[in-house]
Amino acid sequence: MIQVFKIGGNELDQPDFVRQMAQTVKELPDLPILVHGGGKEIRDFQERLGLEPRYIDGLRVTDAPSLDVVQMVLSGLINKRLVAALIAEGVDALGMSGMDRGAVKAEKMHHPRGDLGWVGRVVAVRHEVFLSLLDQGIMPVLSPICGSALFPPPGQGAWGSDGAIFNVNADNVAEAVALATHADRLVFVSNVPGVLAGDRLLDHLGPAEAETLIAEGTISGGMIPKVRAALETVARGVRAVCITNLPGLRQGAGTVLTAV
């Protein structure tokens, strides 16, 4: 079974969470493709370096100095922290970014409310890169730093502020990789156990029920975009999307969203 896990950045600076994540992955019958974020630590490093974090509709504005920070934190600090924890548990993990082997390519994302800088959207995924690693028993650990789908203009450098490197939202990278690899399941591992109706965890949601719960206010706040993004992903071809937390991942619990 092919699975793509996306782990958000809020817990990735907590040693206990990272260790438990690695222990959980070790017990799985099939190694997943793991995509990680890291927004919390990016923001902290920007502030330490005197760079003011800026956002447009929740999207991080990534100018040239910020792109250096984003690469350092995502592809360096966090990626290698996760790989080290997995290796310590006996998992054959390979840290990489979308840049490596041209695995995930992007183009500049345009936003009507302003220039996001070197923020991209995925336009191509080399699915064979990930499937080959899984076939060898190697777990890809992917940071969402992606290469440009276009060559730099003549006379400009190959890398850096000319836009050959893009910062891409980790959710979008995970969705694109799941679609390209025809994954059986995409799992969003967050700090919530899934979609709740009061105190009750909903173990399954389809499009009609989800829209009803959103209209009623049962699904609200930040869970609305998560649910709608999950439903869009299954509508495009991923069999199922699960929203869960680390204990839920360990126990096989959470909310599974499907196209019906």
Cα-Cα-Cα-Cα dihedral sign, residues 241, 246, 250, 255: negative
User: pLDDT grade, residue 149 (50/70/90)?
Assistant: confident
pTM (two decimals): 0.90
Q: Residue 155: its pLDDT value, please? A: 46
Q: Residue 157: its pLDDT value, please? A: 41
pLDDT in tens, 32-84: 999 999 988 999 999 999 998 888 887 889 998 999 999 999 999 999 999 99
Question: Strand ranges (DSSP E) for the chain?
Answer: 3-7, 33-36, 55-56, 59-60, 93-97, 104-108, 119-125, 139-143, 145-148, 165-168, 185-189, 196-197, 200-201, 204-205, 240-244, 255-257
Q: Share the mean pLDDT of the chain.
A: 90
Distance of CA 257 to the CA centre of its chain: 18
User: pLDDT grade, residue 183 (50/70/90)?
Assistant: very high
pLDDT in tens, 94-118: 999 999 999 999 999 998 888 999 9
Q: Which domains does the chain have, with CATH numbers?
A: 3-183 (3.40.1160.10), 187-260 (no CATH)
User: pLDDT grade, residue 151 (50/70/90)?
Assistant: low
158 has pLDDT over 50: no
pLDDT in tens, 189-246: 988 899 988 889 999 999 999 999 999 999 988 788 788 888 888 998 899 999 999 9
Backbone angles phi, psi at 2, to 5 degrees: -95, 125
Q: Residue 156: its pLDDT value, please? A: 44
